A and B are shown apart, each in its own frame.
Chain A
Amino acid sequence: DAMVIQNPRYQVTQFGKPVTLSCSQTLNHNVMYWYQQKSSQAPKLLFHYYDKDFNNEADTPDNFQSRRPNTSFCFLDIRSPGLGDAAMYLCATSRALGWTGQYYGYTFGSGTRLTVV
């Protein structure tokens, strides 16, 4: 089945130690998103890629970076994790809104729960 896979499911990292979360897709969707969800809060968009074009949200801290080496993979790098970065990180994909106006929803991965110690 075509899907979005996130690894690892749980990640524990030390304060200040760089960490990378990964996301892969078999759907060939051209848009990939990273959302951060802290406890009891709404998922918040950090950034997205439209093909190779990177789009950062204005309030995403510089500590968060992303790479998309090809259509299938996207990585979230946290350069110096702080205690406040502990959260669920969700990757999602979608097709871009089509010229015909056809509209697509998201396909999500199951998330990576990050703990910072």
Chain B
Amino acid sequence: ILNVEQSPQSLHVQEGDSTNFTCSFPSSNFYALHWYRWETAKSPEALFVMTLNGDEKKKGRISATLNTKEGYSYLYIKGSQPEDSATYLCAFNRHGGATNKLIFGTGTLLAVQP
């Protein structure tokens, strides 16, 4: 059974705080790691797709790193804002097949208080 673990389950921070979450995944047969942001009543939105060990991606105040050898990825948010409140999902794609099947974690729910 392939499991993707995310921690923490939920996080409450004050506006302006920086925060980070962890995603752990199987390190064998790695193909890609995805991060999605899912705001209430909206569609999950792609943040990053990373495929190479050591990848670092950045989008505004949000960045992510990838370690495929030890099987983890970190997502960082610098200076959290209330609009960052959402569930952050990571998903793992194991090598093989053309159809890009993703295995998701349970997500980290972030609440940013003004």
> Residues on A close to B: CB < 8 A?
4, 31, 33, 35, 40-45, 48, 50, 55, 90, 94, 96-97, 103-111
Contacts and interface: CB of A to CB of B under 8 A. Distances in A.
Chain B binding surface SS class: loop
B42 A50 contact: no
Contact of B49 (A35, A103, A109): A103
25 contacts: A31-B100, A42-B103, A42-B106, A48-B101, A55-B99, A94-B100, A96-B98, A96-B99, A96-B100, A97-B98, A103-B32, A103-B51, A103-B100, A104-B49, A105-B34, A105-B46, A106-B34, A106-B36, A106-B100, A106-B102, A107-B43, A108-B36, A109-B43, A110-B41, A111-B43
Given A97-B97, A106-B100, 7 more contacts: A41-B106, A42-B4, A45-B102, A103-B49, A104-B49, A104-B100, A108-B44
Interface of B: 4, 32, 34, 36, 41-46, 49, 51, 89, 97-107
Nearest to B34: A105
Contact of A97 (B34, B100, B103, B107): B100
A96 B93 CA distance: 13
Contacts of B107: 42
